[in-house]
Chain A
Amino acid sequence: MSRANLLFGFTSLFMLLLSSYLSLVSSPIEKTQGIHQKIFYLHVPLAFLAYLAITLVFISSIMYLWKRTAHWDQVARVSAEIGIITTTLVLISGSLWGRPVWGAWWSWSDARLVTTLVMWLIYMAYLMLRSLGGFSEQTAKLGSIIGILGFINVPITYFSVYLWTFLHPLPTLQSSDDRPENSILIPFLLSLFSYILFFLYIGYLRLQIERASDTLKNLKQRVYS
């Protein structure tokens, strides 16, 4: 591992620890939700990253169909993996937050929750496809198609669940419009930044592994054929 790589890794880890300390320990306890509000510093950056990851899958899928270079396919695969990890953590942290605040682990009337679940299912199917399909251009192409269809499906799903909630109103705690204080905003922004940095680092490492593994598979194919 190169020195720049190590430096990147240590910086992101340090930032993650620092922001965790600032947000989880030193930030003030919020008045209405109490200690449970601390999940916010973890949940929202992860949700942001999840949507960022599927956007990256979408863009690199289009680029793959257009350019047909293995690079874009590798970026799509890595982004989908990060998307699944972050979406899973978002669902879990959201449930843990929902239980004390809404009084329920899960609410079918919240469009964000249901959309995230549908998104999780689509990208799980995407990863299943990548692993069952094996290493071939066919799988990469098919992955790109699902990457595109899955992405355009997300806003329609959100909108349809949003409409549905008017029929089935359940108590949900909507945040009021008041702006968060700086004592909450600053640790949050720092947290967001460190999570992005951390997952960029993981994505970068994962991309190098994917590249090496693709090279190996190509060599094997050449040797056996």
Chain B
Amino acid sequence: MTDSLRIPHIPKQIFILLKRELLLEIRSKEQITVMVIFALTSILIFQFSFELRTGNVQIFLPGILWISMLFASSLSIDRSMTRDSQTGVIQGMLFTPVDPISIFISKVLANTLFLLALNLILLPAISLLLNTSLPNYQLLPVIVLGAIGLSATGTIVSASLTNMKSRASLLPIILFPLLFPVVLSSTTASGMIIDGYSWDEYSKWIGVLLSYDIIFIVTSSLIFSYAVEA
């Protein structure tokens, strides 16, 4: 254990592994495509399930944004974990001197970046399709912290589930209750920003998101090696 905890090497390892994740995604464009199509489909569904009843779908904007992000992220993260475990990449990496913490952090960073990329398409699409304008730059801290929370929890849960037979049904029922604080805080904060509240009023939600992210990343980094070991 002392041998694997070579802290100075971790940033370099994370950088190399992150480059690998991004390169794979640039070549296959698999995760982003799945997320974008999925998110656009959910906008369509939300539009017709809420507009018909309320006549005003805009009050559901924060909910639409975060439900799309939640489902899209769980699909995409699971894809990235299964790809790596089916091809034996994770097991292979564990044989090298790479610290499991680096594998975890690089996955979280990569998935966060993909979620942010999704937002580059999702936010304009919501504005355009639902005829509204979103204060994009003010939403940025909420989206970044929310995306980190979704990725960290998604990565540790789907990493532990990779070899399970009933993975498809277990993933959402384990992941979604764990993500409850993230969804509640991000939706509330986004709603307050859209409604024009000041930073002082919504910053406490940023605080909740930040503490969730820190607590989950630290705990998950510590137990990630148990999740992926054979």
Residues of chain A with a CB closer than 8 A to B177's CB: 118, 121-122, 125, 153
Residues of chain B with a CB closer than 8 A to A161's CB: 184
Measured in the bound complex, the distance between the Cα atoms of B169 and A63 in whole Å is 28
* Segment with Cβ contacts to A, from B43-51, B123-131, B203-211: B203-211
Q: Is the CB of A150 within 8 A of B178?
A: yes
Chain B's closest residue to A154 (CB) is B181
Closest beta carbon of chain A to B81's beta carbon, Å: 13
By DSSP majority rule, is chain B's interface helix, strand, loop, or mixed? helix
Q: Is the CB of B223 within 8 A of A142?
A: no
Measured in the bound complex, the distance between the Cα atoms of B41 and A115 in whole Å is 31
Residues of chain B with a CB closer than 8 A to A159's CB: 181, 208
Measured in the bound complex, the distance between the Cα atoms of B129 and A92 in whole Å is 43
**Choice from A139, A148, A160 contacting B181 with Cβ under 8 Å:** A160
Q: Is the CB of B170 within 8 A of A122?
A: no
Q: Is the CB of A142 within 8 A of B160?
A: yes
Measured in the bound complex, the distance between the Cα atoms of B192 and A164 in whole Å is 12
Closest beta carbon of chain B to A114's beta carbon, Å: 9
Is there a chain A Cβ closer than 8 Å to B116's Cβ? no
* Segment with Cβ contacts to B, from A14-22, A74-82, A126-134: A126-134
Instruction: Give the total of B residues in contact with A, Cβ under 8 Å.
Output: 34
- Asked whether A144 and B180 contact (CB < 8 A) given A160-B185, A160-B208, the answer is no
Closest beta carbon of chain A to B36's beta carbon, Å: 29
**Choice from B153, B170, B185, B216 contacting A128 with Cβ under 8 Å:** B170
Closest beta carbon of chain B to A223's beta carbon, Å: 23
Measured in the bound complex, the distance between the Cα atoms of B153 and A185 in whole Å is 42
Residues of chain A with a CB closer than 8 A to B39's CB: none
Q: Is the CB of A152 within 8 A of B215?
A: yes
Is there a chain B Cβ closer than 8 Å to A184's Cβ? no
Closest beta carbon of chain A to B107's beta carbon, Å: 15
**Choice from B161, B165, B205 contacting A163 with Cβ under 8 Å:** B205
Interface digits, A80-101 against B, CB 8 Å rule (1 contact, 0 not)? 0000000000000000000000
Q: Is the CB of A122 within 8 A of B178?
A: yes
Is there a chain B Cβ closer than 8 Å to A156's Cβ? yes
Is there a chain B Cβ closer than 8 Å to A146's Cβ? yes
- Asked whether A160 and B184 contact (CB < 8 A) given A125-B170, A125-B177, A146-B174, the answer is yes
Residues of chain B with a CB closer than 8 A to A118's CB: 177, 180
5 smallest CB-CB distances across A and B, nearest first, come from A121-B177, A160-B181, A132-B166, A125-B174, A125-B173
Which A residues contact B (CB, under 8 angstroms)? 65, 118, 121-122, 124-126, 128-129, 132-133, 138-139, 141-142, 144-146, 148-150, 152-153, 156-157, 159-161, 163-164, 167
Other than the given A125-B173, A142-B160, 6 more pairs (CB < 8 A) read A125-B174, A133-B165, A141-B226, A145-B223, A149-B156, A157-B181
> Would you list 15 pairs from A and B whose C-beta atoms are within 8 A, ordered by A residue?
A118-B177, A118-B180, A121-B177, A122-B174, A125-B174, A133-B166, A145-B223, A149-B153, A149-B156, A152-B216, A153-B181, A157-B180, A159-B181, A160-B181, A161-B184
